[in-house]
Amino acid sequence: MSKDHFDARAATYDDPAKEGVADEVARGIVAAGAAVPGQDGGLRLLEYGAGTGLVTQALSRRVQGVSATLVDSSAGMREVMQAKIAAGTLPADSRVVDLDLEHEEPPADRYDLVVASLVLHHVHDLDRVLTGLLSLLDEGGHLCVADLDSEDGSFHASVHDFDGHHGFDRHTLAERMRAVGLTEVSVADCTSIEKEGAAYPVFLATGRRVAMTSDEAAGPARPELDDLKGWLLRYLQSARDALLWKLEGLSEYDLRRPLTPTGTNLLGLVKHLASVELGYLGDSFGRPSGIPLPWYDDDAEANADLWATADETSEEIIDFYRRAWAHGDATVAALDLDARGQVPWWGEHSEVSLGQILVHLTTETHRHAGHADIVRELIDGQAGLRPGVSNLPEQSVEAWAAHRERVEGAARAAGHAETLPPEQV
């Protein structure tokens, strides 16, 4: 849904029903023990996708010392909140901020409580937004997500441009929250929304940020030895992260440069892997993402998924890949490893299991991450396994040049030997 949709409704957005839902969300947050003041005795609150600030209004009536930052990407909604601050309806020291965590990095500020009420069903890249919200929490702080249970699409049926989620499976969302680093995650009934004669349940999911050990700060927690699904996801994610790391710091030209006779290029590798992941961990298990893939249409140019047009920005393609991750991870969280699926283009071997597809996709992603290793080194000489870990001997540029010359010399000697008579070898 566009920002214009919310801008047009901002002035008349508030009504008793919405205020009642916001009050129930605030009540649930307090009951869950999530509205815990910080060391200074006040509650530093950030409401993401705040709309007109209704949840903050309700919380400030229940909790003393609320200092609020109200985030919304709609100019109309921000204008309404500014007016409420001036009128004293919202806390006087509240700040109103324009921030979209799907496309922007989170600021350095930290909060005791972050709330996202009826927002995440509008988000495409769920993992990125959850990670951003987590990063805004101070140690010990809580994230509270109020949203719709999974529904059949009727809640937004009258909104022609709605392209988000039709609610959430509670278990799947809880797993996503844990996956980004939240602990003590729980989900409970909160309230319901009456709309056109139907009641739509709303849940409240809460999680907490705790201090990390040095091992945890270095990367995702290691799964238990018998957690096969956890290990498969860990190895898949390491390849995903490595591939995107190879793109960092390059120009739009270098991201697109074909550096092999068959046109291998960095951004094309990302576009290709996003596309195949949506197929393998989406359509193959009856969980289509709804994301258009025009380069797979019958009349599309061959290899159109392996390069980026001038009109496709690198930001769009990287975001596309992150959306594919989120969709794929939700499939993995929802299904057992022995769940059956179909890959039609595999012919007589089209019946597959989720475990088999995870192995296949992890292998393919690591293969293409290796391609990216080589392409990046050809562009500017940068090499390494992941940020901070080169996995290469520490040598000077001159030492590497000498090493290359030795390898070249050995190759030439072997090639020369091939042309000699056996008695001269």
Q: Which residue has the tokens 């319901």?
A: 192
Q: Which residue has the tokens 């050990």?
A: 213
- Confidence label for 252 from pLDDT (cuts 50, 70 and 90): very high
Length of the chain measured in residues? 425
Domains of the chain: 3-211 (3.40.50.150), 223-380 (1.20.120.450)
More confident residue, 80 or 127: 80
Helix, strand, coil in percent for the chain, rounding step 5: 45, 15, 35
* Mean pLDDT of the 40-58 span: 93
As a whole number, the mean pLDDT across the chain is 89
- Confidence label for 1 from pLDDT (cuts 50, 70 and 90): very low
Segment among 59-73, 119-133, 158-172 with least mean pLDDT: 158-172
Phi, psi for 387 (deg, rounded to 5): -55, 125
**What is the three-class DSSP state of 386?**
strand
| pLDDT tens for each residue of 299-349 | 999 999 999 999 999 989 998 999 899 889 989 998 999 999 999 989 999
| pLDDT tens for each residue of 192-225 | 999 888 999 999 999 999 865 545 445 556 889 9
* Mean pLDDT of the 162-168 span: 81
To which H or E segment does residue 351 belong?
strand 351-353
pLDDT of residue 4: 65
Q: For residue 411, how many other CB atoms are within 10 A of its CB? A: 10
Tokens encoding 309:
């047009």
To which H or E segment does residue 138 belong?
strand 137-148
* Mean pLDDT of the 65-77 span: 94
Structural Rg of the chain based on CA atoms: 25
Tokens encoding 63:
């909790």
| Alpha-carbon span 221 to 219, nearest angstrom | 6
pLDDT of residue 403: 94
In the predicted model, is pLDDT for residue 373 greater than 60?
yes
* Mean pLDDT of the 134-140 span: 91
pTM of the model: 0.52
Of the candidates 254, 244, 248, 256, the residue with the CA atom closest to the CA atom of residue 379: 254
| Alpha-carbon span 296 to 322, nearest angstrom | 19
**What is the three-class DSSP state of 144?**
strand
List CB contacts of 221: < 8 A, sequence separation 6 or more: none
